[in-house]
């Protein structure tokens, strides 16, 4: 198992500040499956998601998952694949560690609109269940995805490429060749467009009670 001391974040928080649109979430759970994923990827982080605009532009979570822990905000169903879920449902249900990093200097209103459209267009797309996909992503060996299924971090990268935060190929790499550790502060390896950066990493132990502020 990866030594947690090697992935010590720069900042900790015991309460959730306002999550900015475009922020990347990283997860590390407590199950035996999560342990196997950590060993396979040689990374503390095992899955990821992204914050997108929800009702009244409030932040909600866009995630691709094979192990849903919360119901979709639109139809109330709990299913695998791409979901739009409430922040409080994610932070209040996940058992383990969640980190998040905002995008600096922030996302423009136009790009937020594009991100919301991307979320609605991809919602319901199946999860890529290949046991080798994430490992190939870590070694940059996947072909370009076709959008008919998504691995969790592929969805995050595709969303950020859609709004111009991440560089698309050929200058950047395929969204299918990102894995969770690429977005972590201790192992960052992303193709950011000029003028953007990933800000400091905050980490929470979950589940926690989310207090609206």
Output the tens digit of pLDDT for each of the chain's 213 residues.
233 333 343 444 455 656 899 999 999 999 998 999 999 889 999 999 999 999 888 899 999 999 999 999 999 999 899 999 999 899 989 999 999 999 999 999 999 999 999 999 999 999 999 989 988 999 999 999 999 999 999 999 999 999 999 999 999 999 999 999 999 999 999 999 999 999 999 999 998 765 444
Query: Is the whole model's pTM more than 0.85, yes or no?
Result: yes
Q: Find the domain containing 22 and state its range.
A: 4-206
Domain count, the chain: 1
Residue 81 sits in a domain whose CATH number is 3.90.1720.10
Residue 123, domain member (yes or no): yes
What tokens does 132 get?
């080798």
Q: For residues 140 and 126, what is the distance between their CA atoms, to the nearest angstrom?
A: 22
211: in domain = no
């Amino acid at each position: 198992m990866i030594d947690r001391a090697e992935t010590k974040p720069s900042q900790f928080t015991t309460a959730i500040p306002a999550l900015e649109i475009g922020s990347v979430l990283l997860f590390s759970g407590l199950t035996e499956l999560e342990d196997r994923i950590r060993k396979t990827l040689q990374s503390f982080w095992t899955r990821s998601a992204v914050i997108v605009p929800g009702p009244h532009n409030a932040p909600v979570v866009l995630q691709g998952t094979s192990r849903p822990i919360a119901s979709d905000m639109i139809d109330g169903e709990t299913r695998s694949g791409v979901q739009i879920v409430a922040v409080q449902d994610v932070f209040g249900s996940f058992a383990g560690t969640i980190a998040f990093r905002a995008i600096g200097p922030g996302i423009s209103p136009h790009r937020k609109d594009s991100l919301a459209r991307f979320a609605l267009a991809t919602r319901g797309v199946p999860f890529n269940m290949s046991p080798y996909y994430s490992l190939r992503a870590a070694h940059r060996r996947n072909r370009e995805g076709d959008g008919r299924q998504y691995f969790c971090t592929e969805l995050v990268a595709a969303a950020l490429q859609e709004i111009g935060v991440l560089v698309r190929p050929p200058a950047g790499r395929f969204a299918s060749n990102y894995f969770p550790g690429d977005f972590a502060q201790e192992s960052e390896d992303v193709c950011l467009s000029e003028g953007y950066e990933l800000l400091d990493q905050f980490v929470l132990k979950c589940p926690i009670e989310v207090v609206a502020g």
